[in-house]
Amino acid sequence: MQKTKTIGELRASGYRSRTIKEEIRDNLVNRLRSGQETFPGIVGYGDTVIPQLENALLSGHDILLVGQRGQGKTRIMRSLVGLMDPWVPAMKGCQIHDDPLHPICRPCREVIRRRGDEAEIIWVPQDVRYVEKLATPDVTPADIIGDVDPIKIAEGRYLSDEETIHFGLAPRAHRGIFAINELPELHEKIQVGLFNVLEERDIQIRGFQVRLPLDVLVVATCNPEDYTNRGRIVTPLKDRFGSQIRTHYPPTLEDEIRIMEAESKLPTVKGTKLVMPDFMKQVVAGISMEARSHPEINQNSGVSVRMTIDNYENVASQALKRSLINNEPQATPRISDLAFTSSSSMGKIEFDCLEPERDHQVMQQVVDAVVRKVFLQHFQAEPFHEFISSLDEDTVIEVSERSPAREIVENLRRSGLPLDAVRARVDGSSESVLASVLELVLEGLHQEGFLGKRVSGPAVLFRKREAAKRITPDEGTRA
């Protein structure tokens, strides 16, 4: 069908025009009937958001997605592109991709009046019919609706001539999806203009009523904190969205890990293999989930899944850097590498604590709680009681983010830690992974109260609890 070049050929092909909402509904129905996944790549919403989204699209509703930052609202909007037809015909040269069989703009109707079935058409891909705008306070009505083009006025056209108008994003989304991120940030007078698009499906520019019955699906997002505090959605506009859908963070650790693995772009180094043990994935993903319930972290602001992804990439980078420095063929992140997640975490969290440096202490509490949970998930303390009892007061176990894996393994073997018991619980077939597991064990025994711990520069020193207080701490404890 894409070989058709004129309106006459299009009619002869049997093409049937549909509105964008009919098009999306039909394609969604086909996916549901065939048992396909309706929104591939959207994780954790199978029993909550996706059923509501499916109903809204089947109902032909414009949609408002309400949720905190990092909950995948933009991802959901962009996934709607996959429900559009791959290609649709449009009038050649039209700003708004007018339907050749049902044109709405005056220039296209004039072309058809003059040329009839010989009027030329083009085929527009689905991604071009998706228009997205990030709402900011400096957005103008001209950006969204349109404005008079002074160049066309200089060419001799009249102000009242529809052809003098340079259309904005909403009209250019005709026969497609118009997506608005952070809707409350739009000035109220622009929201009123959008109300006209949603209600009357027409636009008005500089006092001239341009009757354009736009065929557009409007999807917008907002943060509930923005909606109630910094900005607001005018009531008539909010009322015109057929469905308001509330998003949420991943409900389970498994969902958080799936998103983390799917969205992260882990660094690669030729000649070095990066191995990410499951327990380290659980720790990294667990940090975000633990932060979402901490009383000194602002839960209205939320803790974005982007923090999980960025932390995952940071610990992987640190592991690769250590392997390059030590000339090791395999890189595995360790518990000591979590210190480097502060740069990818602190800017994504709003703390409710007032004391100086308290935010770093809160993050350390979060990390400690997660490490303890993961340790108890994989180990029990009892198999290590004999090892702990055998330690004398002068024994110091040192690990460092810079230490080669072999050095850590040998130090702990000499200290009497039962390596076989560790391997039996967690796969430590390689020295790199075993060193990572051993750090988890030491940190877990510390969190359980069996070992004391001090941080001295890049080194972490562990001792029997009653002897630990004799280790001189560094001037500052690293978060």
Q: For the chain, give every domain's residue range.
A: 7-246, 253-468
Strand partners, 432: none
The predicted pLDDT at position 210 comes to: 66
DSSP state of 304: -
Contact 187, 234 (CB under 8 A): no
Distance CA 357, CA 42 (A): 37
The per-residue pLDDT for range 425-476, each reduced to its tens digit, is: 777 678 999 999 999 999 999 999 999 998 888 889 998 876 444 444 443 3
The predicted pLDDT at position 225 comes to: 72
Q: Please say whether the dihedral angle defined by the alpha carbons of residues 381, 385, 390 and 394, taken in this order, is positive or negative.
A: positive
Distance CA 397, CA 118 (A): 84
Token reading at 233: 């959605």
The predicted pLDDT at position 201 comes to: 62
- CATH class of segment(s) 7-246: alpha beta
- Amino acid in position 6: T
The predicted pLDDT at position 186 comes to: 87
Query: Could you state, in chain order, the average pLDDT of each consecutive group of 10 residues for the chain (479 residues)?
Result: 86 93 97 95 93 97 94 95 96 93 90 94 95 89 78 64 76 94 87 76 62 88 70 82 95 96 92 94 97 92 94 96 94 94 91 83 94 93 87 86 92 88 78 93 93 88 68 40
By CB atoms closer than 10 A (0-12, 13-18, 19+), residue 373 is middle
Distance CA 473, CA 452 (A): 11
Element (DSSP H or E) covering residue 344: helix 342-345
The predicted pLDDT at position 478 comes to: 38
The per-residue pLDDT for range 337-379, each reduced to its tens digit, is: 999 999 999 889 999 887 877 888 999 999 999 999 999 999 9
In sequence order, the 6+-apart residues with CB closer than 8 A to the CB of 138 are none
Distance CA 346, CA 302 (A): 13
